[in-house]
Structures are given as structure tokens and as C-alpha cells.
Structure 1
């Protein structure tokens, strides 16, 4: 009787599957394709899981409610906000004075450029648009939570905030160079 041959390619593929099989009970994840850090050839991709539980921008992108340019524009805004936020801190008079305390960090060129880009984005988005973008991208609020903060709980207002947020993401994609102006 002949022996059954084993398929080595399937066995090798299983050995290098680096995706997690066990997730926490309340996990909200989406599959995303990224560059393989352990690849032998440049440009190889793997599928990984991204947490979208506290990431409204990632949730919108994974559900295909926003496109890649809008997503990248939102991430660039978040990156600039984090760079600008790290700057010098105000003196807190309620804290006890301690000798040898840390000196203030000077403002770096990266921080200065990030603040300039944020100021330009705020000018182009307007007061309402910049407040909406800040609430979603910085504070991580959902459209329902934004409506509740403003005392507007109807579904019509939630839809309006979602539509206005996508318009703001379009503008951010233009500001950061991920999209071009339509003619």
C-alpha cells in the first residue's frame, strides 16, 4: 500500500501565521493589511488585527464609511495634535515647590510646524468644524456623544454631525496633501 505524501507548503504556511486567535471578550477589531516586519522580500504584506474600540477614525475606515485620503488626513491631524501638545507646560501654583525640579523643555521645530499646520486647519475648517474634528479625533467621541454634549439627541442631528465630519476630513485630506482639489 502506498503512503500518502504530506504537503510541505501548507505546513510551512501554518507555522508562520502570526495572527492572534484568542481575543478578549469585549474586543472590537478589524483586519488590516500592513508591511511584514519579518519579510525576506521588501513589500510583502500580512494581515493583522487593529483595535477599533476607542478609535472612531479607525472604525469609520474599517467599515468603509471614509476613504483612504480622509483616513490619512485624520491621522495626520492626530499626529500634529500629539506633537503640539507635548510642549512646555504652565506653572502649577498648587503644587509644592521642589528644589532641582525639571526645567521646561524648549519648543522644537517639529512642534512649531505642527502648530502652524493645526492653525491653518482650524482656519479652513471654521469654528464649528474644528470643534467637531477635535471632539472626534482628539477626545474620541462618537456622533451620539457629540449630539448629547450639545443637547441635540435626534437622529437627524447625528446624521448631520457625521456628514459634517466627513466634509471636515475631506478638507484635512486637502490640507495635508492626501487629496487634490476637484475641478
Structure 2
């Protein structure tokens, strides 16, 4: 019996194509450009897909509602918050057991610097702005949920919270050094 001939060529061009073909029905994703981990040349970029379902800052950035400086300022705030947070910690089994009382770990220098930056952010944003930024960037709340927590449920309040959040992101970009005062004044004048 004769063997069937194959018409397919064995090109290896698509061997590193890792894009997902199927997404869950409730997926909320955005394309981002990231460094290629398999690149031979430094700085080579590839397109990747990231989930923005529980990431309000990523969703705003992917829909072009905030710019790169605001996005990076928000990420820097989140990074400082995670570094400074000292919540429940796992038991370290490598440490010597003494009497069952656990002593707190001493603060590291990076934690101390993060706390100092967060204190400056709170002074710059004020109490209301700091609470709004915390609700969105740390707790992941939407503007509707923020309005419900503050007992105001109209669209006008949601628009106010969104506008105020963008102002706070502008301030974060200035504090963390991702924008300059002249750049934000120009952006305000353009609108």
C-alpha cells in the first residue's frame, strides 16, 4: 500500500508562539509589550496578554484613560504599600523555638523607606485623596463601590471620584518622579 504524501512543510518559524487560543468566557485581558525572555539582544520586546479583571489600574491604562506616568506612579504606590505592609506572617520553622512567643522581625531599610514615602504621599494627597487611592489601588474597588461605601450612589459622584482619582495619580507621578510639574500643567491646560 502506498503511503500518503504530506503537503506540510516543517518550518520552525512558529515554534515559540505561546499565545493562548482559548479564553474563559469572563476573561478581561489587554495586550502589553514586555521584554522578551528568550531574546538574544537586550531590549527586544514581545506582545503578551495580561489579565486586567481584578486590576483597576491596569484596566484604566489598557483603555487609555490614564497615561504612562500615572500608571507607573500608581504601581510605585502599590509596591511601597506591599513592602511596608506587615500583616500576618508564616511561622519560620528554621528559627530556634524558645517559649512559643513570637517576636516581630525588625524593620528593614526598604520597609522604612517605603513607609516614609507613603507618609509623604498621604501628606501630599490629603486624607480624602489618600483614602481614595487606597480604596482603588490596594483594595481594588470600583468607583461604584467607593460611592456605596460613602453612601453616595449617583453618576455625578462616580464622575467626581474618577476625576479626583486621576488628580491623585498625577500627584503620585510627581512624587515618585515619573512626571514633572511642567508636564502636568501642560496636560491640564490642553483639556
- Give per-residue Cα distances to partners, 1:126-168, cap 9 Å, x unaligned: 0110000000000000001101111111111100000000000
Distance 1:99 1:53 in 2: 45
Q: Please name the residue that 2:75 is paired with.
A: 75
Q: Please name the residue that 1:138 is paired with.
A: 138
TM value normalised by structure 2: 0.82
Q: Please name the residue that 2:19 is paired with.
A: 19
Q: Please name the residue that 1:181 is paired with.
A: 181
- What SS does structure 1 have at the residue aligned with 2:81? helix
Q: Please name the residue that 2:94 is paired with.
A: none
How far the C-alpha of 1:13 sits from its partner, in A, is: 3.4
1:12-91 map, 5 Å = 12-86=12-86
Bigger mean CA deviation after superposition, 13-22 or 104-113: 13-22
- What SS does structure 1 have at the residue aligned with 2:12? helix
Q: Please name the residue that 1:93 is paired with.
A: none
Distance 2:154 2:51 in 1: 29
Distance 1:13 1:172 in 2: 44
Pair 1:53–1:99, CA change in 2 (3 A): same
1:135-174 map, 5 Å = 135-174=135-174
- Give per-residue Cα distances to partners, 1:23-56, cap 9 Å, x unaligned: 2222111010100011111111111111100000
RMSD: 2.1
Distance 2:13 2:44 in 1: 14
Which residues of structure 2 form unaligned runs of 5+?
A: 1-6, 90-97, 186-191
Q: Please name the residue that 1:92 is paired with.
A: none
Bigger mean CA deviation after superposition, 40-49 or 72-81: 40-49
Distance 2:147 2:74 in 1: 20
- What SS does structure 1 have at the residue aligned with 2:181? coil
Distance 2:120 2:58 in 1: 24
Matched, 1:125 2:125: yes
- Give per-residue Cα distances to partners, 1:48-95, cap 9 Å, x unaligned: 111100000000000000000000000000000000003798xxxxxx
Distance 1:41 1:6 in 2: 32
- Give per-residue Cα distances to partners, 1:111-131, cap 9 Å, x unaligned: 000000000000000011000
Which residues of structure 1 form unaligned runs of 5+?
A: 90-97
